[in-house]
Structure 1
Amino acid sequence: MLRVAVVGSGPSGVYTAQALVQQSLVPDVHVDVLDRLPAPYGLVRYGVAPDHEKIKSLQNNLRAVLEDERIGFIGNVEIGVRGIAPARLLELYHAVVYCVGAAKDRRLGLPGEDLPGSFSATDFVSWYSAHPDARAGGFVLGARSAVVIGVGNVAVDVTRILARGAAELRPTDVPDDVLGALARSRVREVHMVGRRGPSQAKFTTKELRELGSLPDAGIGVEPSDLALDPGYADPSELPAVHRRNVEVVRGWAAAGEDASRAQARGIRLRFFLRPVELLAEDGRVAAVRFERTVPDGSGGVRGTGSYEEIEAQLVLRAVGYRGVPLDGLPFDADRGTVPHEAGRVLREGSPSPGEYVAGWIKRGPTGVIGTNRPCAKETVTSLLADAAALSARPIRGEPLAVLRESGLRPVQWPGWLAIEEAEAALGRSLGRRSVKIPDWAGLLRAAGADDAPRVPAA
């Protein structure tokens, strides 16, 4: 038998496990999917917005894979100095595939970035997604005006949640305290701002269109921003997704600015503005100063020396993610990834026997959920090519026993099912559908592992 550990139970990890058990070259394979959290599915559970039920339904596909008898789920397991070291893990399995994602936000590196009222978009997403590591105290949405810096799908998500009414989110699995905060929200304007134009923005057309269909929020664009984008005037030569994005924005521009004034909240899309400073008043963020940019003729932008300030008592930075080092694994700090060759981890330039990577920690935070399939397949192909040598290596210990001896309290699949039932019961008690348990203590208690020692994430 070839025993493989996959670290990470998001799409990249589950697709890796699926590819391993479905191949026919090595028929006798068992895969344990490990996760730091007691709940599986990674960003599908803790990153996809609650009102995106179609995307969240991907959990059903991931669930079908994890229920395969050749695959085991082992949650609540840290890898590194606070749990089990990669070197020890490699003694328990013939191979280990790390699918740990990119957990850190990119920073802007601007004056005032750390002012009260300025947050990463991931902080906000973790809060409304009930991630157990979400910032203490949540969010009190007392701001009148919010600025979201970035024009990717994460920026669109947080903009939409800020502009959406709490009643519309009640049928979802968001915690009651999040619904309460959104119901009390004083936010009336949300500005989503990008340094380039609509023809270069990273959002997908489906996400973008949703901003214009919110029942209690209007949307407006600035004609002077759009005039700077050559692709906006003539989108015929643009790639299809960018052309569709431009067509959506053109429709909003044709509808006129007044469409955003009659609603409870207004969304303003701004382009060709580069943030240069977050400005304070009474010790909190009060505005963002932007420099006007223009296309540089080479696909980028250059500053013009002209500046504009947008009022904001809440700023959410959505400018991308970055991988973080994992104790005991090599790390390329410039790329934010683990060095690899076709998925094989490289140590000092040479493949490290039995160690592999897939997903964002392999390729960087690029692509959509489906991109993880070919990425996982490449890694699994490399692993299978090495299988004869890997399976000849002796296994030193039974994984669950060693994890427990290390002071960990693994949560297996029945524990996760118990969490699901507890969340369904919580929803029933609130007159709602299933509602997520938002804290470590509650999750571990529901899983029957509440005596597990917990070390907060770094």
Structure 2
Amino acid sequence: MTEQSAATRPLRIAIVGAGPAGIYAADALMKSDAPAGFDGVSIDLYERMPAPFGLIRYGVAPDHPRIKGIITALHKVLDKPQVRLLGNIDYGVDITLDDLRQFYDAVIFSTGANADRALEVPGIDLDGSYGAADFVSWYDGHPDVPRTWPLEAEKVAVLGVGNVALDVARVLAKTGDELLPTEIPPNVYEGLQANKALEVHVFGRRGPAQAKFTPLELRELDHSPTIEVIVDPEDIDYDEGSEAARRHSKQVDMICNTLEQWAIRDVGDRPHKLFLHFFENPTEILGEDGKVVGLRTERTQLDGTGNCKGTGEYKVWDIQAVYRAVGYLSQNIPLLPFDDQAGTVPNEAGRVLIDEGADGAARYMPATYVTGWIKRGPVGLIGHTKGDANETIACLLDDAVNFTPAAQPEPDAVTDFLEGKGIPFTTWAGWYRLDAHERALGEPQGRERVKVVERDEMLAASEPDKVS
């Protein structure tokens, strides 16, 4: 380390992405001992949206206040003086990796995953075939998506048996009035009020023991007074692999028990029917005049290991819209290597991996790290990103002795740079103003908040003295 870099100043770190993964990384940094030669840490969290919290704000269903309670813990991290939020900044457009190198000793990317993974079945591009991530962005009031959503179909299919699939199915099956007490913006309420869906069919190609949702998410389906959850008794089937999964996982056993109870009960008279189908593998989305008119599935059966195989028995379902919820996909980050198949940045323990040298040794991108879904793929729950963050931060701190010191480490240097480019960035203080504005919008209706959708309105509310 040069004499300049050994000067007593904080270790300057940029974290690109202010969702849970990025905020957990900031927390792990602050809880760690600073490397030799540095006096603590100074962290700037960059966020493309004007507001922080990423997936918590724009990826969690509005009727999940328990999950949104995670924001309380994230708030405590962002309240720390070592952390600064710089929002409404689009990495790769407003600021580049070379720019960040000027102002920071190291850069961590925690950009998450917000696109839909592809599903290669005929008819997937028909009008009426949608990605779950796009629908979630709409009902969560994302500023960069259309304000309306087509909800003309009376019979809807959701492909996938994870938590996102259940969120999509539940929102499609609920009434607008049921969701009105949440933070949904007016355009989403109006859209859901006009929703014509009476039947929602959720399809999984394997059995109950292979479902990927959590027990709590599953049980929440049955809490609505307007939704009748229906399971076909013929779909309750287990092989040796399934039974082993039940023995080794309390969660799997709880899911199976819940589905078994629903399969043997009488069907009630709630107006919206939500069917959970297992052992049905979607093979084609059927169209007419370019629009979805049906879904063809192949019946499957377990093979003894918990996996399944086709039976050659096909069925056509009367469906007018299809939502694929088969996983999220991260998007390529400019100037970083990217694995298109895995949807991740190649890395080892969070260090960005360039390639292997002639001697077979790994070569890493200097002072560049990843954490969260961009590191390991979009699997696991929000809390799992804490382990990712701890591993990545441990590597960063081990490497710090070899960092090339930032040329302009003063915190004002980067904000002067952004202001010089005319970029209207938001701050943590601005989030408090936006938060107060959204709460004020909800107060007359007895709601905790009403989410602001328009980016310009978010920016105006984030500035001092712009919105009372």
TM-score, normalisation: structure 1: 0.92
Alignment partners' CA distance in 2, 1:230 and 1:187:
38
1:340·1:357 contact (CA, 8 Å) conserved in 2?
A: yes
Deviation (angstroms), 1:334? 2.3
Unaligned runs of 5+ in 2: 1-9, 357-362
AA matched with 1:86: L
Aligned pair in 2 of structure 1 residues 382, 236: CA closer, same or farther (>3 Å)? closer
Which of 101, 118, 121 pairs up with 1:107? 118
Partner residue, 1:455: none
Q: What's the counterpart of residue 308 of structure 1? A: 315
Letter in 1 for 2:82: R
Deviation at 1:232, TM superposition (A): 6.9
2:213 to 200, 203, 211: 203
Which AA in structure 1 matches 2:281? R
CA contact (8 A) 2:284 2:296 kept: yes
Corresponding residue of 2:45 = 33
2:236 is equivalent to residue 226 of structure 1: yes
Structure 2 residue 251 is the aligned partner of structure 1 residue 270: no
Does 98-107 or 275-284 show the bigger shift?
275-284
Select 2:144's aligned residue among 108, 115, 133.
133
Match of 1:9 among 18, 25, 39: 18
Query: Are the counterparts in 2 of residues 279 and 287 from structure 1 also a CA contact under 8 Å?
Result: yes
Match of 2:398 in 1: 385
C-alpha change, 1:447 and 1:25, in structure 2 (3 Å) is closer
SS at match of 1:354: strand
**Cα distance between partner residues in 2 of 1:119 and 1:429:** 35
- 2:409, 2:241 → 1: CA distance? 60
4+ aligned runs moved over 6 Å, structure 1: 231-235
1:373 aligns to 2:380 (yes or no)? no
TM-score, length-scaled by structure 2: 0.90
State the match for 2:332 in structure 1.
Answer: 325
Matched, 1:412 2:422: no
SS at match of 1:348: strand
Cα offset, 1:361, TM superposition: 0.5
Pair 1:289-2:304 in alignment:
no
Q: 2:407 aligns with which of 373, 386, 394?
A: 394
The aligned runs of 1:34-183 (5 Å cut-off) are 34-80=46-92, 82-134=93-145, 136-183=146-193
* 1:238 Cα offset (Å): 4.8
Aligned amino acid, residue 329 of structure 1: L
Q: Is the 2:48–2:88 Cα contact (8 Å) retained in structure 1?
A: yes
**2-structure distance, mates of 1:153, 1:382:** 32
**Distance verdict in 2 for CA 1:163–1:395, change over 3 Å:** same
Would the aligned equivalents of 1:33 and 1:71 in 2 still touch at CA under 8 Å? yes
For 1:85 and 1:236, locate their aligned partners in 2 and report how far apart those are by CA, in whole Å. 49
Q: How many equivalent residue pairs?
A: 445
- Cα distance, 1:24 vs. partner? 2.1
RMSD of aligned alpha carbons: 2.0
Which residue of structure 2 lines up, in the alignment, with residue 423 of structure 1? 438
Give the Cα–Cα distance (whole angstroms) in 2 for the partners of residues 288 and 11 of structure 1.
Answer: 37
Measured at CA, do residues 236 and 300 of structure 1 come closer, stay the same or move farther in structure 2, by a change above 3 Å?
closer
8 Å CA contact 1:275–1:288 kept in 2: the answer is yes
1:211-238 CA deviation, whole Å, 9 max, x = no partner?
1222111111112222465677897535
- Measured against aligned partners, the alpha-carbon deviations of 1:64-93 in whole angstroms (never above 9, x if no partner) come to 10010010000011111x221112212210
* 1:177 counterpart letter in structure 2: N
- Deviation, 1:210, is 0.9
Separation in 2 of the partners of 1:59 and 1:341?
Answer: 29
Q: Which residue number corresponds to residue 253 of structure 1? A: 263
Partner of 1:441: 456
Partner Cα distance (2:18, 2:68) in 1? 15
Q: Deviations over 1:278-329 (max 9, x none)?
A: 1123431111111111123343222222111122212111000112111111
